[in-house]
Amino acid sequence: MKYESFTEFLGSLDAKNEQFNNKWEDLKYEKRKKALITAIIILIIDIIILNSVGAFSMFLMVLLFNANVFIFVISHLLIKHKDITQFNNDYKERIINELLKNFIEDVDYVPLKGLPKSIYDEAKYGGFYNKYYSDDYFEGKMNGKKIVMANLLVQKEEEIRDKDGNYETETTTVFNGIFGKINLEKTINCNLTIANDYRTSSFDKQKIDMDSFEFEKEFNVYTDNQITAMQLLTADIQSDILELYNEQKIRFHISITNNTMYVLFNTGRMFEVFSSRKNPNEVLEKFFEIMRFIYMLVDKIINTIDDTII
Amino acid sequence: MDTMLLIILIIVAVLIVTIIAKYNRIIKLRNRVKSSESGIDVYLNQRFDLIPNLVECVKGYTKHEKELLENIVKQRTNYSQNRNLETATELNNCINRIIAVAENYPELKSSDQFLSLQNNLTKVESQLQAARRIYNADVQRYNTTIQTIPTNIVAGMFGFKEINYFQIEDYKRENIKIDGDNL
């Protein structure tokens, strides 16, 4: 990790980030301007229509009102979408790339690329899903270990019949956040899952009791080898994991199978700066803290595995 | 009169069911303690199985540790005749004393045989620590259960007693003195 604090990191970005902040301000101004112009055009059209019809009826007013709202929303979305996509793409290539470089060695970040579904399935996260979307793929090395990570949105979509016999689509999110696969090189010769996201794991029957009350209150541990699990999760490690979690309160699911570690952090959508009304620096700070948390946790677990004679 | 009898019968039935449930819970917890105790036994034996090799290895490099080596052999015999946590702790302490003494013999410390033994001992020690934590956590759950109301009444009725925690790390509290006179 090059810079431990966001302020230091922000300082290293200097002019590059300043340009984006200015562009963001311009974009906000442009957005308001375009919305105002659209509203004026709609109003003029309304006046022309009302003049040409010559009579005011309730039906016409309702029709016009609905048409106005529809046209305004569609045009607003089209304008917004085009500009924001461009801004986000540029921002990702310049700033998010720098952010990832701060935590990951030899990083290769491809914003439009996703992680194959098969890798997600390997993690055996549990929960049926039929919609899978991934982007913001990045690979590199963390603590010398090869990693691949990406943004994931995994959902279950199903048709539900209501009491009147009508069908409606219900979408349930199975996972939304950062998913990663890490090659540990060293094997732990068992399965070990540490999770606090309340998802029922496929290893549910292998839940073990831990000796720290505070840790057990927050996390579930599943394993097929309790001795190895306890060797790795010493009192100090349990306390460190808990302390890290309490700083960010991001629910996670870490699953280690022999020499492969799968990590799932319920961060929500990451690296989309303009999707929030907040200033890009505020959003970037949030991403920085999340990535810092991911880095610290993964680093701690890798070190523990490396230092333990199993 | 019939209603009164029915109420008494219901109360008695509820009491019996509660006692059975509490009793079964205590038994379940005690069995878990026994199971984790056997886990400790496995790793203690693995550790003690390394003693002959350790004695042979140390004997080859040290000339002044006769007493210590004799003591470890004596403790091992004592442990095989009387297997309990006390004798196990004594024997474990002896092993740790030998490892500590080895620090004063650079040739011994750097020998391949000793390094391999030390590596194995560290591995088993780490597994033993894990087994000890599992055991102590199970003991804590058992002891808490038999001390809390209303399970303590059932525990008292059937004579369930508290179980002691396993303190294998006693040697760490001892002041192991290694001075020139001992060597």
User: How many Cβ contacts (< 8 angstroms) between chains A and B?
Assistant: 35
Mean pLDDT for the stretch of residues A69-91: 78
Alpha-carbon span A193 to A228, nearest angstrom: 12
**Min distance A274 CA to chain B CA atoms (Å):** 49
* pLDDT at position B103: 79
Q: What percent of chain A has a predicted confidence (pLDDT) above 90? A: 50
B82 touches chain A (CB under 8 A): no
Chain B residue numbers touching A211 (CB-CB < 8 A): 133-134, 136-137, 140
Candidates B126, B128, B141, partner chain A, best to mutate (most A CBs within 10 A): B126
**Min distance B114 CA to chain A CA atoms (Å):** 17
Mean pLDDT for the stretch of residues A174-178: 94
**Min distance A276 CA to chain B CA atoms (Å):** 47
* pLDDT at position B89: 79
Structure token digits, residue B156: 């008292």
What SS3 class is residue B175? coil
* pLDDT at position A303: 94
Give the CA count within 13 Å in the CB-facing half-sphere of A225: 15
Check: CB of residue B87 under 8 Å from CB of residue B79: yes
Q: Do A230 and B131 lie within an 8 Å CB cutoff?
A: yes
Q: What percent of chain A has a predicted confidence (pLDDT) above 70? A: 94
pTM: 0.80
Mean pLDDT for the stretch of residues A85-90: 83
Residues B144-175 have pLDDT tens digits of 999 999 999 999 999 999 998 887 554 444 43
Alpha-carbon span A265 to A204, nearest angstrom: 19
* pLDDT at position B90: 82
- Shortest CA distance from A229: residue in chain B: B130
Chain B residue numbers touching A310 (CB-CB < 8 A): 123
Identify which has the larger pLDDT, A46 or A208: A208
* Residues 6+ away with beta carbon under 8 Å from A226: A208, B130, B134
Structure token digits, residue A277: 């009304």
> Which region, left, alpha or beta, applies to residue A235 given φ > 0 means left and ψ of -120 to 50 means alpha?
alpha
Check: CB of residue A118 under 8 Å from CB of residue A127: no
Alpha-carbon span A18 to A159, nearest angstrom: 47
Q: Do B137 and A308 lie within an 8 Å CB cutoff?
A: no
Alpha-carbon span B154 to B18, nearest angstrom: 9
Chain B residue numbers touching A210 (CB-CB < 8 A): 137
Chain B residue numbers touching A231 (CB-CB < 8 A): 126-127, 129-130
* pLDDT at position A155: 95
Angle at the Cα of A170 from the Cα atoms of A168 and A172, rounded to 5 degrees: 175
**Min distance A126 CA to chain B CA atoms (Å):** 28
* pLDDT at position B182: 34
> Which region, left, alpha or beta, applies to residue B59 given φ > 0 means left and ψ of -120 to 50 means alpha?
alpha
B80 touches chain A (CB under 8 A): no
A20 pLDDT band, cuts 50/70/90, is confident
Nearest to A211 among B122, B127, B137 (CB): B137
Alpha-carbon span A301 to A307, nearest angstrom: 10
Q: Do A230 and B119 lie within an 8 Å CB cutoff?
A: no
Alpha-carbon span B142 to B27, nearest angstrom: 9
Q: Which residue has the tokens 């907040």?
A: A278
Residues A127-162 have pLDDT tens digits of 889 999 999 999 999 999 999 999 999 999 998 888
Identify which has the larger pLDDT, B51 or B138: B138
| Torsion angle of C-alpha atoms B147, B151, B156, B159, degrees rounded to 10 | -90
Average per-residue pLDDT in chain A?
A: 87
* pLDDT at position B180: 34
* pLDDT at position A81: 66
Chain A residue numbers touching B119 (CB-CB < 8 A): 309
Residue of B61, B110, B165, B126 lying closest to A231 (CA atoms): B126
ipTM of the assembly? 0.76
Alpha-carbon span A80 to B24, nearest angstrom: 66
B115 touches chain A (CB under 8 A): no
**Min distance B115 CA to chain A CA atoms (Å):** 14
Interface of B with A in 31-60 (CB under 8 A): 39, 43
Mean pLDDT for the stretch of residues A288-301: 94
Distances (CA, A) of A20 to A13, A15, A86, B3, B8: 11, 9, 12, 83, 80
* pLDDT at position A160: 87
Check: CB of residue B158 under 8 Å from CB of residue B80: no
Nearest to A231 among B126, B140, B141 (CB): B126
Check: CB of residue A221 under 8 Å from CB of residue A229: yes
* pLDDT at position A276: 58
A260 pLDDT band, cuts 50/70/90, is very high
Q: Are strands A191-195 and A207-208 parallel, antiparallel or unpaired?
A: unpaired
* pLDDT at position A202: 56
Residue of B47, B102, B41, B116 lying closest to B69 (CA atoms): B102
A56 pLDDT band, cuts 50/70/90, is low
Residues B11-45 have pLDDT tens digits of 999 999 999 999 999 999 999 999 998 888 888 88
Amino acid (1-letter code) at residue A287: F
Q: Do B39 and A310 lie within an 8 Å CB cutoff?
A: no
pLDDT at residue B176 tops 60: no
**Min distance A188 CA to chain B CA atoms (Å):** 13
Q: Do B123 and A310 lie within an 8 Å CB cutoff?
A: yes
* pLDDT at position B87: 83
Chain B residue numbers touching A229 (CB-CB < 8 A): 130
Per-residue b or e along B23-58, where b marks 16 or more CB atoms closer than 10 Å to that residue's CB: beebeebbebbeebbebbeebbeebbebbeebbebb
pLDDT at residue A123 tops 80: yes
